[in-house]
Amino acid sequence: MLVTALATPYREDRLDYPSYERSVALQAKYADALLAVGTTAEALLLTECEKKLLVKIAKAIAPRLPLFVGAESPCTAFAAKQAEQAATWGADGLLVAPPAFVKCTTEGFVRHVTTIAERSGLPVMLYNAPGRCGYVPEMRAWESLSNVAPFVKDAGSDLTFTARLANKTTVLCGNEILLTDALRHGAKGVVSVVSNVAPRLVKSVLDGTCDEKSLQLFESLANLSMSEVNPIAVKYMLFKKGIFADYAVRLPLTAATEQTKKRIDALAWEEIE
């Protein structure tokens, strides 16, 4: 299962609708589902109006694809309100991570997620993101949420955790540097950053149909995409690919460094799909 985590294009700090439409149209050819207003979309830096527009455009251009929408806040009440709004905008599911910074107890995590699911009426994709949240809730919390959360995006690096979780629910790899290993440990797909620029390539990795050269290219793109804080590098890749008209990000993020750009420039973008 290929779920593309869509990036958000800007021109002069405003949403760039033509670039976003090109991006979604490309994904409609290859992806099995989309994720809007997630980490790669710079969700915490978007206004409510911008989020609504991004969701509605994605649904209009790729109506056949299930659309997950991020509902991220350390405050359960606020996250639940975001989830309710996403449902009215046309979301088919939600991405929900453990509350960051304030953290929470195991019971708190379970109640956080179930409250969001009940308020929105939507299924949840849980998001294990220890690099951003700072912790991983106990396994029993993930297991007890399987009734409201049929998927887990696992962006950690503990493949033992991946394997244990895969015995209980459907795991989607969220750390593409470890994708092939995660698949061997039971993951059934990926929530992909790389597929923004190379959806056909990522699909071939999942299907096991790529040759060694293609696998090496995917691994290079995966490492490059995480060479700076996501989505800095992938937005420059989208610019090089001609999908985005610019590679701007919003503060406190900063644009790709010259070193990163040179590494990305060196790739044969006309051959990448």
The residue-averaged pLDDT of 134-151 equals 94
Residue-by-residue DSSP string for 45-74 = GS-HHHHHHHHHHHHHH-TTS-EEEE---S
In this structure, which amino acid lies at residue 48?
E
DSSP bridge partners of 170: 151
Catalytic residue (one of 20, 51, 59, 153): 153
Q: Which residue in the list 127, 203, 236, 247 is annotated as catalytic?
A: 127
Region of 202 (left: φ > 0; alpha: ψ -120 to 50; beta: rest) is alpha
Domains in the chain, CATH or no CATH each:
2-271 (3.20.20.70)
Of the candidates 247, 244, 269, the one whose C-alpha atom is nearest the C-alpha of residue 256 is 247
Q: Tell me the per-residue pLDDT of 158-182, one tens digit each, with 9 for 90 and over.
A: 999 999 999 999 999 999 999 999 9
| Tens-digit pLDDT profile for residues 61-119 | 999 999 999 998 999 999 999 999 999 999 999 999 999 988 899 999 999 999 999 99
Spatial neighbors of 159 by CB under 8 A, at least 6 apart, are: 178, 181, 182, 185
Annotated catalytic residue 153: yes
Structural tokens at position 79? 């996250």
* Distance (Å) of CA 104 to CA 107, 134, 138, 142, 200: 8, 11, 11, 14, 39
pLDDT at 270 over 90: no
